[in-house]
Amino acid sequence: MRGKMRRDKIFFRDSKGKVNDFDWKDKEILKQLCIDSNMTFAEISRNTEIPIDTIKYRVKKWELSKLIKFQLDVSTKKLGFDINVMLLVRFVNLSEYEHLVRDFIKRNRNMVSCSNLSGDYDFQINIIARNIEEYHKVLSDFKTEFDGVIRSINTNFVLNDYSDSAKLLIGG
């Protein structure tokens, strides 16, 4: 693609690195999948009047390019995990301990996600626990493991989660 990409348009790279325009058909198909990711291609076609073959081709292209992935979304609350905490952590020397932090998080089933940050903190770690006692144990184990190398730590209990990354593509 030559020239600058327009800010009001959405583009994505396919599995071969080619830049693709995200057009109205893409938005309509994705909108249907956001409503119900188990919707069949025939149902999407009925709802959008886009041919089934076009839908199959585009969804396959998105999957190959890793633009979308179909995965299980588990309701942790319904499984009895009532505590959801965002832990913000700053280390004394991140480069020295980063791999150890990642390994610790991979081993701990209650630490369900981790993001490396720029700014005041090095990591945002999402902790899910059944109750406050389990949360305290997870936090205590983390603090013990990295005693002396944590510069600061901040905990934020999540009250509600209104995440919707698909909004970027389909509006809303």
Q: What pLDDT does residue 143 have?
A: 96
Quick: pLDDT tens for 49-75.
Answer: 999 999 999 999 888 888 887 766 677
Q: What pLDDT does residue 72 have?
A: 65
Residue 88, φ and ψ in degrees, nearest 5:
-105, 125
Region 11-64: CATH code:
1.10.10
Burial class (CB in 10 A: 0-12, 13-18, 19+), 129: buried
Threshold 0.85, pTM exceeds: no
Give the position of tokens 């309701």: 75
Quick: pLDDT tens for 7-25.
Answer: 556 777 777 777 877 888 9
Q: What pLDDT does residue 166 have?
A: 59
Q: What pLDDT does residue 93 have?
A: 86
Which run of H or of E encompasses 74? none
Decide which of 2.40.128.110, 3.30.70.920, 3.40.50.10140, 3.30.360.10 is the CATH code for 83-157.
Answer: 3.30.70.920
Is residue 154 within 8 A of residue 87, CB to CB? The reply is yes
Give the position of tokens 């480069």: 95
Q: pLDDT below 70 — which residues of the chain?
A: 1-9, 71-73, 163-172
Q: For the chain, which residues make up each domain, given as ranges? A: 11-64, 83-157
Q: What pLDDT does residue 168 have?
A: 56
